[in-house]
Amino acid sequence: MFATSSQLKCWLFSGETELAKHRSEANKAFIQTWRQDKTDEEVAKFFLTPSEERILSRQFEVVLRKFCSEFQPPMPKCVIGTALAYFKRFYVFNSTMDYNPKDIMLTCAYLACKVEEFYVPIGQFVKNLRGDREKFADAILSFELTLMEKLHYQLTIHNPFRALEGYIIDLKTRYKEIQNPEKLRKCADEFLDKSLLSDACLIFSPSQIALAAVKFGAAKEGISLDGYIRNKVLKTATEKEAENTLYQLRRVKAIVKSFEQTTREQAQGVQKKLDRCRNQENNPDSEIFKQKALDKLNEEDNVPAVKRAKLSNV
């Protein structure tokens, strides 16, 4: 139930301002750890700024959604919604310089498949990627626990898709003024799809996002749902509560609409900068990461020998 969920308790923020504050703190914390004796000027040149980090993470949200929507076998919507929600939650408190969004993005999708009971074995999962698939698989699995930890093991995501179904059923049964509520579905779906690229899921409850989707979906069809919202959905609400809900719906719309596609040039510039300033300990291609993995492998090689030794003692 959403009302008792960790989503409501821990993962809804007051708005873009609060989110920006957390993200910039994560940015600052990373720089503080890695700046050594760099001057402020050098820092600005070397590290990503909070706004550059946003360009990067937004860029990868687009990539992640595209990856999910082209995924084979086709991913149910809730898997896509959950994957994006994980990705967004992760970068509220972590810097893209610490964990590369490219790795985290795939791990989010893989974990979302498991959690939403759309299980795809890792071998099949990476078939959706071009390039060194084994390397992708290793990267995904090596970041899985970190991702879970950074999400505070709060893995249940309440997506707006079910809420949308609920509103459509409700319209059919309680609001005869609209002849065929099914015709709102297409626009409402598009709205929800678009909302995946915004911070909406970090600010609003799924039912608010879904109601905004129905309302603005209807508006596009030239239908007003104000009567339905006022007299049915908010029938028992006080005047103040009703005003607030309508205000929130306008906010949802504004945030979903505010999405701007970052240009390829912008993203490439940031990427280049990132290649130098990222945390190499979390870079699967770095020497230090490889060394750690190698140590682990060597240690593992020793295990069967130890076990055998024990057995022969018996």
- Footprint on this chain of another protein (rule: CB under 8 A): 1, 6, 9-13, 93, 110-111, 114-115, 117, 119, 121-122, 140-141, 144-145, 148-149, 152-156, 292, 295-296, 299-300, 303
Answer left, alpha or beta for residue 59, where phi above 0 means left and psi between -120 and 50 means alpha. alpha
- Classify residue 233 by burial, with Cβ atoms within 10 Å: 0-12, 13-18, 19+: buried
* Residue with smaller CB distance to another protein, 153 or 311: 153
CB 295 → another protein: shortest distance, Å?
A: 6
Peptide bond before residue 50 is cis, with ω within 30 degrees of 0: no
Q: Which residue has the tokens 């980090």?
A: 53
* Residue with smaller CB distance to another protein, 121 or 227: 121
CB 114 → another protein: shortest distance, Å?
A: 5
CB 23 → another protein: shortest distance, Å?
A: 13
* Residue with smaller CB distance to another protein, 81 or 181: 81
CA distance 308 to 298: 17
CB 111 → another protein: shortest distance, Å?
A: 8
CB 155 → another protein: shortest distance, Å?
A: 6
* Residue with smaller CB distance to another protein, 4 or 236: 4
* Residue with smaller CB distance to another protein, 265 or 300: 300
Q: Output the six-digit token pair for 93.
A: 């408190």
* Residue with smaller CB distance to another protein, 93 or 175: 93
CB 222 → another protein: shortest distance, Å?
A: 36
CB 84 → another protein: shortest distance, Å?
A: 18
Answer left, alpha or beta for residue 259, where phi above 0 means left and psi between -120 and 50 means alpha. beta
CB 189 → another protein: shortest distance, Å?
A: 22
* Residue with smaller CB distance to another protein, 1 or 305: 1
* Residue with smaller CB distance to another protein, 5 or 266: 5
CA distances from 13 to 93, 213, 262 (A): 12, 20, 24
The Cβ of residue 162 has, within 10 Å, a number of other Cβ atoms equal to 14
